[in-house]
Amino acid sequence: MFNRREAALVEQRDEARHRVQCVRVTTRGDAADPGEQPFAALLDNISSFGCRLVEAAGLEPGERLWVRLPGSPPVIAAVAWVEGDVAGCRFAAPISQNLMRSLLPGAV
């Protein structure tokens, strides 16, 4: 099992986080349910394989989402874990290294 560490008590980031749009996906296929409203979350961390979203209250592990990353068409992701209003998501397919790097702190 992974060792979990407590989050820092003081925010130490200088860069703003990216705000992303998310939509829950139906259980059939990858189509968004027309009844679902998009919601905004903050992209807190990203890798080629997944991301951590903040202000993502109400998500459940196993849910699937369309996540619209800045500069990219929406990508499908599955919620892997939730703690309060923070959710860890795994992308259905890895995103490109160029896209990931463009979203890292300090990218121009």
* DSSP-based three-state secondary structure for 80: strand
In a domain, 9, yes or no: no
Closest C-alpha among 71, 46, 62 to residue 54: 46
Give backbone dihedrals phi and psi of 88, rounded to 5 degrees, phi first: -100, 130
Confidence bin at 12 (pLDDT 50/70/90):
very low
In a domain, 8, yes or no: no
Per-residue model confidence as pLDDT tens digits over 21-76: 888 887 666 666 656 788 999 988 888 999 999 988 889 999 999 999 888 889 99
For the whole model, what pTM was predicted?
0.75
* CATH number of the domain where residue 40 is located: 2.40.10.220
Domain count, the chain: 1
Q: What is the mean pLDDT of residues 75-79?
A: 94
* Residue-number span of the structural domain to which 90 is assigned: 18-103
Distance CA 62, CA 45 (A): 19
Say which residue, 87 or 14, is predicted with more confidence.
Answer: 87
In a domain, 13, yes or no: no
In a domain, 11, yes or no: no
